[in-house]
Amino acid sequence: MTTCPAILVAAPASGQGKTTVVSALARLHARQGRRVRVFKCGPDFLDPYWHALASGAPVYQLDLWINGEADCRARLAAAAADADLIIVEGVMGLFDGDPSAADLAQRFGLPVLAVIDAGSMAGTFGALAFGLQNYRPGLPWAGVLANRVASERHALMLKSSVRDPDQWLGAVMRNTALQLPERHLGLTVASEVGDALERLDAAADALEATPLGQMTLQDVQRWQVEFTGADVPQSAAPVVKPLSGKTIAVARDAAFCFIYAANLDCLSDLGAELVFFSPLADAALPDCDALWIPGGYPELHAQTIAANTALRASLAAHIAAGKPVWAECGGMMALFDTLITSDGQQFAQWGLLPGTVTMHKRLAALGPQQLRLGSGTLRGHTFHYSTTETALQPVARTARPDTDPLPDTGEALWQLGSVRASYFHAWFASCPEATVELFSPPEGAVW
């Protein structure tokens, strides 16, 4: 059993500013020499980039269904063993989703800090804070922070509306300079923002003026939580390493950046050696036995992808040799013949799968999914703005949690030769055996 101060930062809805607050709090404590570990509730690729920059430590996702409770518990316990503070960012509203951020907080005893955009309210702020705290009996509670506050007078009105003065953790004033840049899938990746660290420092400075920001390490001991579990997730470090001696090339650049740190860990734990390359900049694949092209933003780089004909030839040679390819979401999109952007522009892509991908201005699919393969079932999620037209017939389909796949529903799994592709984002550690299958030659082929 390990103890460590920990909080879960939540909100009544999306868009309240909780990612900025989490990053600011992590940055504030990290600047003071404290060891901060940040986690993200739910399957999110983008917020963790900001959290990792702010904390200086790897960021992992926690989802009671996708990870499983044992995996979540083990990751928290491992972090608690060497951290001064653990911060978990919730997802959507506090009680939204199944499982929700509130479920996670209650399961592990994480006190909830509610961030509320108070820009258009006064006395109702206290009612909303009271409702969040008391809606579910037994929910651990840390307090409430007002965000995007108009003035000091406004802050006093908000503070006076909170029933318990000890629950008031301050007000962050409205300041557009503190907003993190966004685009259609969420926040812009921190590494693409030239002044990302300066933005985080500005947010940390603003938070430092609040009671929350002025809390010392001794003060945050009030949020002490006991964590029990293995030092590493149960899925890690298997005795048998079926990918031992195999090299997996991973696409990683501005176009293909939706990568769970836990997925890289899982491949390494299975024995694979990982090498990275950029489809935007590199002329050839590195020497490898298998290839992973993760999701990202190919639609923002479609012209560059189309122009890199040398890499396309290298990909074609890899596939012709029967070497496995796992392409998910954006990685899959670039494999098709054509990509049509939301404003109607058409770009030839790698042309290694037949079909056309069309971007839309509204979400096409969102939510948790599972993919059943011959060796087991992978859990994960889907989140995309495009649709695909192809002559390929699915060899399988994903399904909603704990249900069977149905015809013409769920995400298609397409296979052509040694290529497997889907909109499905897999959490590899949910079924290492199925992960090995994804990176192994199709039936009848050999390494």
At 204-249, the pLDDT tens digits run: 999 999 999 999 989 999 999 999 875 444 444 556 799 999 999 9
Cα–Cα distance between 44 and 62 in angstroms, integer? 10
Contact 249, 277 (CB under 8 A): yes
- Paired with 368 in beta bridges are 381
Contact 351, 323 (CB under 8 A): no
157: in domain: yes
In the prediction, which pLDDT does 232 show?
47
Clarify whether residues 321 and 376 are in a common domain. yes
- Amino acid letter, residue 1: M
CATH code, 180: 3.40.50.300
User: What's the number of domains the chain is made of?
Assistant: 2
Clarify whether residues 208 and 265 are in a common domain. no
- Amino acid letter, residue 308: N
Task: Take residue 312 and report the two structure tokens written for it.
Answer: 């396309």
> Where a domain ends, among 193, 227, 261?
227
In the prediction, which pLDDT does 195 show?
81
CATH code, 306: 3.40.50.880
Cα–Cα distance between 410 and 397 in angstroms, integer? 6
The residues, any chain, with a CB within 8 Å of residue 192's CB and separated by 6 or more, are 254
Q: Which domain holds residue 430?
A: 247-438
pLDDT tens-digit profile of 105-141? 999 999 999 999 999 999 999 999 999 999 999 999 9
Cα–Cα distance between 361 and 230 in angstroms, integer? 44
In the prediction, which pLDDT does 231 show?
46
Clarify whether residues 185 and 255 are in a common domain. no
In the prediction, which pLDDT does 176 show?
75
The SS3 of residue 219 is helix
Burial of 281 (0-12, 13-18, 19+ CB in 10 A): exposed
336: in domain: yes
Clarify whether residues 58 and 126 are in a common domain. yes
Residue position matching structure tokens 């964590």:
227
Q: Which residues of the chain have pLDDT under 70?
A: 177-194, 230-239, 443-447
The SS3 of residue 399 is strand
Query: Which residues are known catalytic residues?
Result: 329
Clarify whether residues 343 and 427 are in a common domain. yes
291: in domain: yes
